[in-house]
């Protein structure tokens, strides 16, 4: 467990070591969140890069209200949203997702997740962005519904609804795929 208060303080002193410790602690989880959202590991690595460079570059202005993990997770999600908004990332559409997942030369490196997990991320990619975001933040990011609601500035019931609908839809998608 990191002593976040002290690490942030050391970081504000310019400590590369503190930055490295923070990066090593959270990188894999943040990469997984970004990759689950984007369905593209290369793009997810770019998100991770941008988040840490921005985090380091603005350290003087950063004031944590919650945990450092929540802050970095929120930063990843914001970057992912930006990618969608700017259309820099090619969204994987419903039908396309299945095709890409079976295409090992494609930009989606589902194989890195393993076969079953690849099916999962394919199904995730077919959910509306908000449902996917809620599921990934809760299950991969380990955030409570209350924290997600605060972060997204929406009612708790909306978060719970998105989560439930998202899971139902995933179950349907996976069942249909199993029949094929």
Token pair in block for residue 85? 């908004």
By C-beta, is 7 or 149 nearer to another protein? 7
Quote the least distance from Cβ 71 to another protein, whole Å. 13
The secondary structure of 38-51 as a DSSP string is HS-HHHHHHHHHHH
By C-beta, is 5 or 146 nearer to another protein? 5
Token pair in block for residue 52? 């840490």
Which parts of this chain interact with another protein (CB under 8 A)?
Answer: 5-6, 9-17, 19-21, 23-24, 27-29, 31-32, 35-36, 41, 44-45, 48-49, 52-60, 63-65, 112-113, 116-117, 119-121, 124, 135-136, 139-140, 167-168, 170-171, 174-175, 178
Quote the least distance from Cβ 142 to another protein, whole Å. 8
Closest residue by Cα to residue 87 from 38, 36, 33: 38
How many residues appear in the chain? 180
**Exposure letters 126-162 (e unless 16+ CB within 10 A, then b):** bbeeebbbbbbbbebbebebebbbbbbeeeeeebeeb
By C-beta, is 38 or 149 nearer to another protein? 38
Quote the least distance from Cβ 103 to another protein, whole Å. 19
By C-beta, is 87 or 130 nearer to another protein? 130
Quote the least distance from Cβ 27 to another protein, whole Å. 5
Helix (H) or strand (E) holding 69: helix 68-86
């Amino acid at each position: 467990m990191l002593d976040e208060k002290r690490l942030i303080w050391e970081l504000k002193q310019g400590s590369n070591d503190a930055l490295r410790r923070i990066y090593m602690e959270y990188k894999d989880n943040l990469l997984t969140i970004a990759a689950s959202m984007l369905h593209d590991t290369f793009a997810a690595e770019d998100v991770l890069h941008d988040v840490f460079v921005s985090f380091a570059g603005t350290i003087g202005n950063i004031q944590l209200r919650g945990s450092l993990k929540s802050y970095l997770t929120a930063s990843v999600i914001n970057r992912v949203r930006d990618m969608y908004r700017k259309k820099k990332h090619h969204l994987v559409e419903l039908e396309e997702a299945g095709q890409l997942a079976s295409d090992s030369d494609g930009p989606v490196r589902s194989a890195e997740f393993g076969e079953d997990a690849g099916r999962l991320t394919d199904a995730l990619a077919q959910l509306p962005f908000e449902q996917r975001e809620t599921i990934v933040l809760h299950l991969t990011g380990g955030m409570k519904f209350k924290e997600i609601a605060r972060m997204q500035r929406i009612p708790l019931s909306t978060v719970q609804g998105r989560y439930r609908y998202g899971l139902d839809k995933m179950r349907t998608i996976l069942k249909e795929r199993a029949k094929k």
